[in-house]
Amino acid sequence: MKIACIGGGPANLFFSILMAKQDPGHDITVYERNRRGDTFGFGVVFSDETLANIAETDPDSIAAIESEFRYWGTMDVRYRGRTVTSDGHGFAALSRVRLLEILTRRALELGVRVEFSTEADVDALSGGVDLVVAGDGVNSNTRSRYADDLRPTIRHGSAKYIWTATDAPFDRFTFIFEDIKHSEDIECCEDGARRTVQAHIYPYDDTRSTFIVEMAEPTWKLAGLGGHDDGLAPGQSDRHALEWCSRLFSDHLDGRPLIGNNSRWISFPRISCESWIANNVVLLGDAAHTAHYSVGSGTKMALEDAIALADAMAATGDVSTALKNYESERRPQIESLQRAAATSEDWFANVDHHRQRPFEQFAFSLFTRSQRVTYDNLRERDPQYHDETLRWFAEQQPPAHRPPTPDTPPIFYPFTLRDVSFHNRIGVSPMAQYSAVDGMPNDWHKVHLGSRAVGGAALVMTEMTCTSPDARITPACTGIWNARQAEAWAGITQFVHDFTDAKIGLQLGHAGRKGSTRVPWEGEDVPLEAGNWPLISASPLRYRTGSQVPAEMSYAQMDAVLDDFVAATRRGADAGFDLVELHAAHGYLLSSFLSPVTNQRSDDHGGSLENRTRFLLRVTEAAREAWPQGKPLSVRISATDWVEGGFSRSEAIELSDMLKGVGVDIIDVSTGQVDPSGEPAYGRLYQTPFAEAIRNTVGIPTMAVGAISSIDDVNTVLMAGRADICLIARAHLVDPYWTLNAAIDLGRSEQPWPIQYWQGRTSRRREQVPDALIDRDLR
């Protein structure tokens, strides 16, 4: 087989090695535009897992690479004069120049031709060989040439970073954070505010370490760091940047200057392609995809791509089939890594959202930022660090909430808002049941909410309960606009209080432009065939094609809706609810005022954020006044529309601060569903970064929702300070006793059990049930 590889980076060199090993008769040429030994960057880092993959496929290559590796297992986090160390993280690194030389020599040994200083013509090559492998990097000409087939997307991150090196002594992965403000040495920032700059450091040979400096773009702009690389020749470094960073981190560099190699400020390019294949051309490595360096190096991904492609080629002699099999197998792995990398990148890009939290929690949040390292995972890697952080977490709780044993996981810590205490950190998220008649809750709602309260959750939330008949989403939605409905709700709250330790919350809402539709199983968001009621919203914009056009709310209608919320709040208090929540998310009425996408008013309720929040704040203040002072008030918001130019995280933070100022006790942080044009970045825990940002910037408790499904997820969220309560929806639909099962799985006795279900504590096989759960007396 005749193979041409465009680009002499790790991906193509290693692929050519593996193919030459498969069949020495393959005719393989690698074309590299640069001279041998020319490269930008400094060190490359690998995890133990990656090294194992390489070793399995080519022991000779790994032997040569390992001979020059720097190994370490510990990570340090330095901030404000303190250091936290965590062990058990297996990494190794070496110089990128040396890696390329090792792979080049190995390829040449096996008969691969490597043509340096050669610009390859992909069109000419593709017609004369069986396979073209394009590993030509982030700025891939091949990707551009075949853009119509590959359909690439390139999004640049919001932070600025610069890749440098140092010969100051570092023997492990080290994260350094420095707060900066206007001073004689470092002119930042113009507004006098403190901002945070971070450095990611790892050693790659006996004398040098990679030293990456990163900061949020607003910080970079205020520091005046732009424009100093104008007119520099290729390969030259931004001297101003190197000097500025050297001064900022001088205490960690022993006064030594940072070293440049084409070092300039850039924004990380997130590259993805709808396809990696164009006829007999396939992309590898950074040409096809990128993932932020804070999670996995491009070199790691490139080598694993090479292994996967070589395996696919070995499995079939047909190039077309092999390429399809390669992409179908490799793509899910890449997309998973890219999601984790995006979460990690987001953490660093918004580091100022984390700087207010205690240092111990700051470090734990950093270690778990990608969601691939978790509470349980850290306990396995470094039990000492894990236990020290858990003890710290216990000491931060009020004395009455401190656990009976130091190993109690965060999920079973109590939490208090005003005079209401929740016996653990699990809540049942509001889930519409569409089972009411004329707004009346019935036996279904009693069983639905009651069984989950019996199941151990500390908080059970009603579905969105409507404040008037025309506030409903569907005719089957619950309401609390009259005394009969309130009385029915009182029967449900009494059951919860009489038979469980749970608290029950009432979510109040108005559907706005999303109302007057059929129940979902008859057609989601589809208007009723008959009996429609008129809709109102911030602006006369239909929700989607075919939806009813709402009327733009008048001031008189605003006053009427406000009165309805107040009356419903009072009825909720009389019905015995422990918490009330205003639904200002998901594009419903209150939410429609917040987003520029749904609010296009030209009066004092449209335009600026101050104007767009005006109505919600009025309703919230009135509800707070009507609600008992000893009970907490929550507001659910969509912290982003997931729409360009829509309601954003920064606005959600400002709004949350306003809500805190009018007496809101906790923010229930959701996202999206505001407009059909939204494009959520779905994934595990995908909404928790928004809860984290609000909690730690505003200083208000938050509830996290969205793809939280495991005990480990909950413990990680709580320990890292991303939220104070985790609301779980879908998992509770299939397991009302999710929390009781968590107590069995963790062997915990802190969780109160319904006395009627006491024997269930030992329902699993005897050897799986801790003695503490078997021998404890009834209480």
Residue with tokens 């492609």: 309
Residue with tokens 């939410």: 591
DSSP per-residue letters across 142-156: HHHHTHHHH-EEEEE
CA angle 704/708/714 to nearest 5° reads 75
Look up residue 219 and give its amino acid: T
The one catalytic residue among 161, 375, 588, 737: 588
Strands 173-180 and 2-6: unpaired
Look up residue 499 and give its amino acid: F
Helix axes 688-698, 319-349, angle to 10 degrees: 10
- In this structure, how many other beta carbons lie within 10 angstroms of the beta carbon of residue 634? 25
Q: Which of 463, 559, 466, 473 is nearest to 522 (CA)?
A: 473
Strand partners, 504: 460
- 736 Cβ neighbours under 8 A, 6+ residues apart: 451, 452, 454, 455
What b/e sequence results for 84-98 when a residue is b if at least 16 CB atoms lie within 10 Å of its CB, and e otherwise? bebebbebbbbbbbb
Alpha-carbon dihedral sign for residues 635, 636, 638, 639: positive
Which secondary structure element, helix H or strand E, spans residue 174, and what is its range?
A: strand 173-180
Which secondary structure element, helix H or strand E, spans residue 725, and what is its range?
A: strand 725-728
Q: How far apart are CA 678 and CA 591, in angstroms?
A: 14
3-state SS, 68-109, equals CCEEECCEEEEECCEEEEECCCCEEEEEHHHHHHHHHHHHHH
Known active-site residue 588: yes
- Answer for the pair 579, 506: CB distance below 8 angstroms, yes or no: yes
Rg (CA), the chain: 29
Structure tokens at 669: 């942080």
Structure tokens at 246: 């050297």
Q: How far apart are CA 102 and CA 454, in angstroms?
A: 63
User: What are the distances in angstroms from CA 721 to CA 199, 700, 778?
Assistant: 22, 11, 34
Q: Which of 619, 432, 429, 405 is nearest to 514 (CA)?
A: 432
Which secondary structure element, helix H or strand E, spans residue 559, and what is its range?
A: helix 555-574
Let me know how many helices (H) and strands (E) the chain has, helices first. Answer: 26, 30
Q: For the chain, what's the residue count?
A: 779
Phi, psi angles (nearest 5°) of residue 402: -75, 140
Give the rounded distance of the alpha carbon of 143 from its chain centre: 28
Q: Is cis: bond before 726, omega within 30 of 0?
A: no
Burial of 531 (0-12, 13-18, 19+ CB in 10 A): exposed
Active site residues: 588
